[in-house]
Chains A and B, each alone.
Chain A
């Protein structure tokens, strides 16, 4: 990680992120649409824009017709909608798609929003959602894999076999996330005290080798991101955060169709994003990657090129991902300790934007100018990388 000058980038900004916010998090007893509205209201206020300015809407998970439903509920008449369903990477995908729609001039103000009340509803199921007419219902569900946990567990098992990765190296991801969450007043585990490697090792095994503390939280929460053109952003109050690179990859829907358990689609999405941005992984100041499970982080750091394949466990074990370390990682506390309302991708982007604005308080990474937000969805199915930058 180096800090440098704006001249190091060749990638031109595609669009600007000008507003971000979360809704209430945790156990809210609010509906999905209420949580979305709360986040949207706050993010538009953050941007200094109003609901009437929105002409592009990007959302999923609220309904079968998600964008249509959210638009109706909030009184938006969008002429560009996107309800791509790619699980946890959906919101990095939405930001990329919004950036391109803005750059092409079709829309001016994009609203990307999400909400889930899965903790209040107690709606999360260990076997996921099974459609018996689809391939996973026909050929995989009969064997009882926990979905998605067991696929990530098998990835961890394979990573241990091929590279000698240990359970305590996996645990370090959760331990570091907790350290960050203790600095984030809205984190679910804020005030919960530190987590130790021993705590992770002695937490109940769910799907070996993953323990319960290797798995993300189940919480409510919503988030919203407001984007506009680079030119329009100059007239708004916030320091704009530019999208300078994006990449997307889709590798498999069912567990058995995964090309590799140890080399994910993030190799492809990351290469596309870094090439577009004209930056190298070593230049990134702060990294937000989806931590659905501890192994997800190791796989993603390797795939994005922050360390060689097979090395992520050893890379992080000196604590460099913790507050004050040389590799600031998941500085919100992540899905492991901050919040995880189902599709965490939007919160990765929100935290990256806040770090680049320099508004993260006790957990601020000093002088952060370049950030990566990377979403992973499904059973290592979908992968989307954003490179974000701020000019100072």
Chain B
């Protein structure tokens, strides 16, 4: 399977202090998820408190497997940002560890998608060495173009 995703340029924000660890791990293609060692709950995005039990001293990071199911999706016809070229598919993916993640599905048209199908984590390289997690509907594909970042959007 081959497809062109070079049209996808994404505005990526400057990292906020609270989220540095998460963004730094993307350099190694690690999708970090917080797990609470007290209640065993998981959460994403990372924060200073467990939303399951309120603990502030029991959160650790685990690395997501990258497997998920497609909760829902929408093909965007009018780009949200001048650097994004429509159409593109935004999606909510339920990752295996539990949390729901807002992302894009790349390499597939929305007509090929169905809610509840399996999806797989892929990484888009950003020009500052970080990477942006997206999902595909096939586990084989791993050829990705380089993506220019637009810091601060």
Interface of A with B (CB < 8 Å)? Answer: 126-127, 130, 132-135, 137-147, 150, 153-155, 157-158, 161-162, 204-210, 254-258, 261
For B138-153 the 0/1 string (1 means CB < 8 A from A) is 0000000000000011
Supposing A132-B14, A142-B10 touch, asked if A157 and B74 sit within 8 A by C-beta, the answer is: yes
Q: Which residues of A contact B116 (CB under 8 A)?
A: 161
Chain B residue with the shortest CB-CB distance to A128: B80
Contact assessment for B77 and A161 in the assembled complex, using a CB-CB cutoff below 8 Å: no
Contact A204 B11 (CB under 8 A): no
| Chain B residues, Cβ within 8 Å of A132 | 13-14, 16, 152-153
8 smallest beta-carbon distances between A and B, as pairs: A127-B80, A132-B13, A153-B74, A154-B72, A161-B115, A144-B80, A158-B72, A208-B75
Q: Show 13 residue pairs from A and B whose CB-CB distance is below 8 angstroms, ordered by the A residue.
A: A127-B81, A132-B16, A134-B16, A138-B13, A138-B15, A140-B102, A143-B90, A144-B88, A144-B104, A204-B77, A207-B77, A256-B92, A261-B92
A155 B102 Cβ-Cβ under 8 A: no
Taking a contact as CB atoms closer than 8 A, the residue among B12, B15, B81, B102 that contacts A256 in the complex is B102
* Chain B residues whose C-beta falls within 8 Å of the C-beta of A256 in the assembled complex: 44-45, 92, 99-102
Q: Are A158 and B101 in contact (CB under 8 A)?
A: no
| Residues 61-113 of B at the A interface (beta carbon under 8 Å) | 71-81, 84, 88, 90-92, 99-104, 110
Interface residues of B in 10-41 (CB under 8 A from A): 10-16, 19, 23
B84 touches A144 (CB 8 A): yes
Least distance between B127 CB and chain A CB atoms (Å): 14
Q: Given A154-B72, A154-B73, A261-B92, decide whether A144 and B79 contact each other with a Cβ distance below 8 A.
A: yes
Evaluate contact between A157 and B73: CB separation under 8 angstroms: yes
Q: Is B6 an interface residue (CB 8 A)?
A: no
Q: Which residues of B contact A204 (CB under 8 A)?
A: 77
The answer to whether A145 and B102 have CB atoms under 8 Å apart is yes
B72 touches A161 (CB 8 A): yes
Nearest chain B CB to A99 CB, angstrom units: 31
Complex Cα gap A208–B100 (Å): 20
Residues of A within 8 A of B134 (CB): 143
Select from chain B the residue with minimum beta-carbon distance to A140: B102
Other 18 A-B pairs with CB < 8 A, given A141-B80, A155-B72: A132-B14, A132-B16, A132-B152, A132-B153, A137-B13, A137-B153, A141-B153, A143-B104, A145-B76, A150-B74, A157-B72, A162-B115, A205-B75, A207-B77, A208-B75, A256-B92, A256-B101, A258-B100
The smallest C-beta distance from B83 to any residue of chain A, in angstroms, reads 9
Give the complex CA separation of A142 and B152 in angstroms: 10
Tell me which residues across on chain B come within 8 A of A127, comparing CB atoms.
80-81
* Cβ contact of A142, chosen from B11, B19, B45, B76, cutoff 8 A: B11
Specify which chain A residues have a CB less than 8 angstroms from the CB of B110 in the assembled complex.
208
Q: Do A255 and B102 contact each other (CB < 8 Å), given the known contacts A143-B10, A144-B81, A158-B115?
A: yes
A142-B132, A144-B80 are contacts. A158–B71 as well, Cβ < 8 Å? yes
Contacts of A126 in B (CB 8 A): 78-80
Contact with A144, one of B23, B45, B73, B90 (Cβ below 8 angstroms): B90
Minimal beta-carbon separation of A143 from chain B (angstroms): 5
Question: What distance in Å separates the Cβ of B28 from its nearest Cβ neighbour in chain A?
Answer: 18
Is B114's CB within 8 Å of the partner chain A?
yes
Contact B76 A135 (CB under 8 A): no
| C-alpha spacing A58/B60, complex, angstroms | 42
Inter-chain contacts of B79 with A (CB < 8 A): 126, 144
- Residue in chain B with minimal CB distance to A161: B115
Looking at the assembled complex, report how far the CB atom of A76 sits from the nearest CB atom of chain B, in whole angstroms. 39
Contact (Cβ within 8 A) A207 B75 = yes
- When chains A and B are docked, how far (Å) is the Cα of A203 from the Cα of B141? 35
Complex CA distance for A206 and B72, rounded to whole angstroms: 16
Q: Which of A135, A146, A255 contacts B92 (CB 8 A)?
A: A255
Chain B: minimal CB distance from A166 (Å): 15
Bound Cα distance A155, B74 (Å): 9
Inter-chain contacts of A162 with B (CB < 8 A):
115
List the B side residues contacting A138 at CB < 8 Å.
Answer: 13, 15-16, 19, 23, 45
Nearest CB of A to B141, in Å: 18
Interfacial chain B residues near A147, Cβ < 8 Å: 80
